[in-house]
């Protein structure tokens, strides 16, 4: 029955204070003395050597050199010549690593520290202002180039006046004797 005036409990009662949780494994639960006296070493398994995966690139090349073209012939060649990939220990990179300087570091280099003296003097603001001034000056110069009017024949005639006409002294022949 539930206790009077209290809600009914929906959990299990816990064991006493002398109860130890977990599994007791006698082989490894000897504590520090057993760990110091008896070293448990793992012996390598010689029978379960992992087979390397097949090298299909080399096998395909060999099958083509032998003159096989169909899938059935390729499968027969795979069964006859089972070529496996070489272990990474025998790779070209591990046998002859590239010659690099001893002080070379791989990866991305770290950013240089921000100079606080430039921050205190507002140097970055001044550099930005100079860039903006140079940009506006370049825009003004380009705008002036665009605003320049191209010369046409009419504007050239207005600028350079036509030469004055010389008065000709030609008269009618019947009026020459007058």
User: Quick one: which of 39, 53, 120, 119 has its CA closest to 83?
Assistant: 53
Q: What is the pLDDT of residues 23-35, one digit of tens each?
A: 766 665 567 777 7
Q: Which residue has the tokens 């921050």?
A: 119
Q: Answer for the pair 54, 85: CB distance below 8 angstroms, yes or no.
A: yes
Count Cβ atoms within 10 A of the Cβ of residue 177 and give its class: 0-12 exposed, 13-18 middle, 19 or more buried.
Answer: exposed
pLDDT average, residue stretch 18-43? 71
- The span from the first CA to the last CA of the chain, in angstroms, equals 160
Q: What are phi and psi of 44, to 5 degrees?
A: -70, 145
E-state strands within 128-175: none
Q: What is the pLDDT of residue 46?
A: 67
Q: What is the pLDDT of residues 100-159, one digit of tens each?
A: 788 877 788 888 888 888 888 888 899 999 999 999 999 999 888 877 777 888 888 888
């Amino acid at each position: 029955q539930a206790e009077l005036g209290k809600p009914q409990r929906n959990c299990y009662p816990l064991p006493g204070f002398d109860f130890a949780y977990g599994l007791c494994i006698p082989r490894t639960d000897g504590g520090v003395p057993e760990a110091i006296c008896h070293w448990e070493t793992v012996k390598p398994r010689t029978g379960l050597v992992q087979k390397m995966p097949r090298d299909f690139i080399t096998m395909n090349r060999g099958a083509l050199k032998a003159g096989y073209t169909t899938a059935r012939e390729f499968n027969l060649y795979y069964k006859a010549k089972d070529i496996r990939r070489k272990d990474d220990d025998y790779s070209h990179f591990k046998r002859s690593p590239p010659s690099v300087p001893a002080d070379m570091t791989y990866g991305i280099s770290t950013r240089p520290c921000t100079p606080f003296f430039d921050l205190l003097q507002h140097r970055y603001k001044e550099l930005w202002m100079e860039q903006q001034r140079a940009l506006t000056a370049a825009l003004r110069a380009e705008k002036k180039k665009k605003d320049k009017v191209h010369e046409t024949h009419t504007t050239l005639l207005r600028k350079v006046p036509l030469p004055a006409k010389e008065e000709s002294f030609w008269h009618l022949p019947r009026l020459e004797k007058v």
